[in-house]
């Protein structure tokens, strides 16, 4: 899943390819760091500017 996600990011934002930070290693490292924060091998983080939660 990680490999596919990174492939999609690299192809979807091809205009960023010239940036020094825009490479496979950067995205895999970010997912790995998120994984360390959540006791998983890999994870993602999201920013929700507006979020609706239903509490039960």
* Structural domain spans, the chain: 2-37
pLDDT of residue 30: 97
Pairwise CA distance, residues 54 & 45, whole Å: 20
**Burial of 16 by CB count in 10 Å (0-12 exposed, 13-18 middle, 19+ buried)?**
exposed
Instruction: Render pLDDT for 33-47 as a digit per residue (tens, 0 to 9).
Output: 999 999 999 999 989
* Least confident segment among 2-6, 7-11, 35-39, 50-54: 50-54
């Amino acid at each position: 899943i990680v490999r596919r996600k990174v492939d999609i990011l690299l192809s979807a934002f091809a205009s960023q390819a010239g940036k020094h930070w825009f490479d496979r290693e950067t995205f895999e490292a970010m997912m790995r760091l998120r994984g360390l924060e959540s006791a998983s091998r890999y994870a993602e983080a999201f920013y929700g500017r507006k979020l609706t939660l239903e509490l039960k």
